[in-house]
Amino acid sequence: MLTKDLLEFRVRKGAVHPQLIAAKGTEADLADALVATVTSATASSTTRQELEAALGAQAAGHRRPRVAKGLVKLLLDRATFEEPDPEAVTSRSQWLAHAEAIRATLPPDADFAAYEAALARDLDLEEVRDRLFADLPSRRTLIDFKPIDGPGLISRYDLAQVQGLLLYAQHLELRVAEGDTPELRRLLRWMRFCRLVTDVTVDGSDWRLRIEGPAAVVDGAKKYGLQLASFFLVVPTLPRWSIAADVKLPRRPVLRLEMSQRAGLGPGFAGGAGHVPPEMRAVLDKWRDDEWRLDPNPPPLAVGVDGWCVPDLSAHRGGEVVFIELFHAWHRGALPRRLQGLADKPQPNLLLGVDRKLVDKTELGSENPQVFRFNGFPTQRGLKKALAEWWTTFGELTSSRGAC
């Protein structure tokens, strides 16, 4: 990700235009050189301070310093440095205390050479100098680097420019032409993983997703903004797409951001959009139930009169399927819309899980058989109880309806 001071954009007639960089030219040459420097550093016990100095020297003379700093930032984000020495703080405290004790024994007119000689009688000064601040980030050694080439870094930089603007979005409208494709289903799975507040509608063969932005979310706006930015990485995998967003940058009026596949953005990654969140994976791995089987990749479900939802889970029992949609603390506006949709057109096979942080801020009734509550994320016990209560209320109804 890029910080606001590294974003390159132009504002014209109420619209904001991220400044993408070409795959050829001085920026491409710089990207190749920076990647080569990091790749070489992984095999030479280079500290973070040394690596940053080398990259900074390469970037310093570039004609567009903000672009150069952005490329360096993205490369450093891909680097892994050693963990701090867990004994460093204790050792430093002991060395400093010992040094102070030695100083107190010397006469007032003792010079530094005498002080150093007194220290050397008890301490290996070379080792002390080497390890005194070994726990600081600048002193940690580069141990790994997530591979990327120069063109890949250019592509990642362009994506990061758009992501940086989306951190200030009030909402994002995504339109997917000819939406019923494997790419769309992968995108919907990734959207569930990012836990975005989304309204989905279908217009013929096109799908439209209206996603709330961090500027419209009260609880956890910063974390939510990062999730929206992560979600955008998958959008360019779609063959035909367009986005429109209202962006509220600090000290600026609301600006319109519009882009489509014509911008030529490369995907942030080719695979992995079907990733299952670790807390859900923990439930799935521990799930033991003779009656219900869980599926973390259910298809989209039509709800209400003309709306759609993307369930987080589906539970299967014989021929019955229960779709489970989870609402977290930042879904304050989405939950009432979902409840209204179910009131307009009942959908017994949809079960809503609601975070208690959200329940306290709504007028949700306590006797709704299609709603269960959780803290942070549903537990295996909570899911089993919710499914059992659902079956008691709706199982016979849905089974008899299916038999007819």
Does 319 lie in the same domain as 267?
A: no
Mean pLDDT value of segment 104-111 = 89
Does 219 lie in the same domain as 182?
A: yes
Does 239 lie in the same domain as 291?
A: no
Does 292 lie in the same domain as 268?
A: no
Does 354 lie in the same domain as 250?
A: no
Chosen domain end from 218, 248, 273: 273
The CATH number assigned to the domain holding 220 equals: 3.30.70
Which pLDDT value is given to residue 360?
66
Place of tokens 């949809």: 350
Mean pLDDT value of segment 262-267 = 86
Q: Pick the closest to residue 193 from 283, 273, 78 (CA basis).
A: 273
User: Do residues 102 and 122 touch, judged by C-beta distance below 8 A?
Assistant: yes
Distance in angstroms (rounded) separating the CA atoms of residues 101 and 70: 48
Those residues with Cβ within 8 angstroms of residue 48's Cβ, 6 or more apart along the chain or in another chain: 79, 81, 137, 138, 139, 140, 141, 142
In-domain check, residue 82? no
In-domain check, residue 123? yes
Which pLDDT value is given to residue 179?
64
Q: Among the listed ranges 64-68, 137-141, 215-219, 225-229, which one has the minimum average pLDDT value?
A: 215-219
Which pLDDT value is given to residue 215?
72
pLDDT of residue 182 exceeding 80, the answer is no
Domain that holds residue 360: 278-403
Q: How confident is the model at residue 403 (pLDDT cuts 50, 70, 90)?
A: very low
In-domain check, residue 346? yes
Does 398 lie in the same domain as 284?
A: yes
Q: How confident is the model at residue 270 (pLDDT cuts 50, 70, 90)?
A: low
Residue 36 identity: A
In-domain check, residue 162? yes
* pLDDT greater at residue 20 or residue 184: 20
Domain count, the chain: 3
Q: What is the mean pLDDT of the chain?
A: 85
Based on its alpha-carbon atoms, the radius of gyration of the chain, rounded to whole angstroms, reads 28
Does 208 lie in the same domain as 300?
A: no
Q: Pick the closest to residue 314 from 338, 346, 272, 284 (CA basis).
A: 284
Q: How confident is the model at residue 300 (pLDDT cuts 50, 70, 90)?
A: confident
Does 295 lie in the same domain as 202?
A: no
Q: Pick the closest to residue 350 from 307, 302, 402 (CA basis).
A: 302
Which pLDDT value is given to residue 402?
41
Which pLDDT value is given to residue 398?
53
pLDDT of residue 315 exceeding 90, the answer is yes
Q: Among the listed ranges 73-87, 134-148, 265-279, which one has the minimum average pLDDT value?
A: 265-279
Q: Note the pTM of the prediction, 2 decimals.
A: 0.75
pLDDT of residue 328 exceeding 50, the answer is yes
Does 357 lie in the same domain as 311?
A: yes
Which pLDDT value is given to residue 150?
93
* Sign of the C-alpha dihedral computed for residues 213, 360, 323 and 296 taken in this order: positive
Mean pLDDT value of segment 77-85 = 88
pLDDT of residue 136 exceeding 90, the answer is no
Q: How confident is the model at residue 275 (pLDDT cuts 50, 70, 90)?
A: low
Q: How confident is the model at residue 331 (pLDDT cuts 50, 70, 90)?
A: confident
Does 389 lie in the same domain as 371?
A: yes
